[in-house]
Amino acid sequence: MRMLRAGRWITAVALVLLAGVYVRALAYTPIEQSQGLAQKIFYLHVPAAIWAEMAMILVGLSSVFYLFTKDPRLDRFAAASAEVGTIFCAIVLTTGPIWGKPIWGTWWTWDARLTFTLFLFLLYIGYLLLRGAIPDPAMRARYAAVLGICGMCEVPFIHLSVYMFPTLHPMPIVLKPGAPSLPGSMLLTWALSLGVFTLLYVGFVVQRYALSYLREQLEAAGEVGHA
């Protein structure tokens, strides 16, 4: 229970800070010349995208260690990370079209990067569905680990594809070889936002982890069936 409360506090602080980042983004960060106000959504979109992918990699890594150690804590973490990754993916897929409509003139295009974010999202959904379809906890953990590792290994292919297909999507501005090509004030806002999203990720994962621990306790005591 202490963990659940800690998770709630971290999330609450992160949400307040997120509001702060947006005050800074809207009021104290210069407006981008060609995209105007629409560019402000990047402070939400890019950190969410980074964490959506990071979450998949963390699912994969904890799955690898789970298969070696069979430590249920790793499985619980993988499940939590996958759920949070799903939400972050949903944020990316929602904010992307909102930006795309004024800038590209269309909500959606079958662009490589959009398509593969969608598939990352579907990968997460598949992972959660697989977990839901197996009643036995040990089997669920093993199968989920196998899928998680495969998912992690697919991420580099997704990345390679992005550079191989002709794309409309803006190329990386910050995380690329060489210096970031944007003014310092924008970079600072972006970095703050990335920090806030990191905190959000931690807060959500801690909460989900604590919840699944409590659920396991109840399951063991025979209080609830498997959802």
Partner 1 sequence: MRLPDLLRHAWTVASKDLLVEFRSRTAILSAAVFVVLVLVVFNFGRDPTAVSNVDLAPSILWVTFTFAAILALNRAFQLELENQALDGLLLAPIDRGSIYLGKLMANLVFVATIEVIGVPLLALFFNVRVLPYLGPLVAIIALATVGFVAVGTLFSAMTVRTRFAELLLPVLLLPFMIPPLSWAVLATGRLLADRPLSEIAGWLNMLAVYDIVFVTLALLLFPATVNE
Residue 168, interface with partner 1 (CB under 8 A)?
A: no
Q: Which residues contact 152 (CB under 8 A, 6 or more apart)?
A: 56, 57, 59, 60, 61, 63
End-to-end CA distance of the chain: 21
Indicate which single residue of 12, 26, 31, 160 sits in contact with partner 1 (rule: CB under 8 A). Answer: 160
Residue with tokens 């799903």, as numbered in its chain: 86
Q: Which residues contact 10 (CB under 8 A, 6 or more apart)?
A: 199, 202, 203, 206
Instruction: Return d(Cα 118, Cα 120) in angstroms, integer.
Output: 5
Q: How far is CA 197 from the centre of its chain?
A: 9
Minimum gap (Å) between residue 9 Cβ and partner 1? 35
Instruction: Return d(Cα 206, Cα 101) in angstroms, integer.
Output: 35
Q: Where are the alpha helices (DSSP H) in 1-71?
A: 2-23, 42-69
Residue 163, interface with partner 1 (CB under 8 A)?
A: no
Q: Which residues contact 195 (CB under 8 A, 6 or more apart)?
A: none
Minimum CB distance to partner 1 smaller for 3 or for 67: 67
Instruction: Return d(Cα 181, Cα 210) in angstroms, integer.
Output: 41
Indicate which single residue of 16, 19, 26, 139 sits in contact with partner 1 (rule: CB under 8 A). Answer: 139
Count residues contacting partner 1 (CB under 8 A)?
A: 27
Residue 188, interface with partner 1 (CB under 8 A)?
A: no
Residue 104, interface with partner 1 (CB under 8 A)?
A: no
Tell me the per-residue interface mask from 60 to 99 with partner 1, x by CB under 8 A, - otherwise: -------x--------------------------------
In the chain the beta strands, taken as DSSP E runs, fall at none
Tell me the per-residue interface mask from 7 to 46 with partner 1, x by CB under 8 A, - otherwise: ----------------------------------------
Minimum CB distance to partner 1 smaller for 145 or for 196: 145
Q: Within positions 105 to 134, which residues make up the interface with partner 1, using CB under 8 A?
A: 115, 119-120, 122-123, 125-126, 129-130, 133-134
Chain contacts with partner 1 (rule: CB under 8 A): 67, 115, 119-120, 122-123, 125-126, 129-130, 133-134, 139, 142-143, 145-147, 149-150, 153-154, 157-158, 160-161, 164
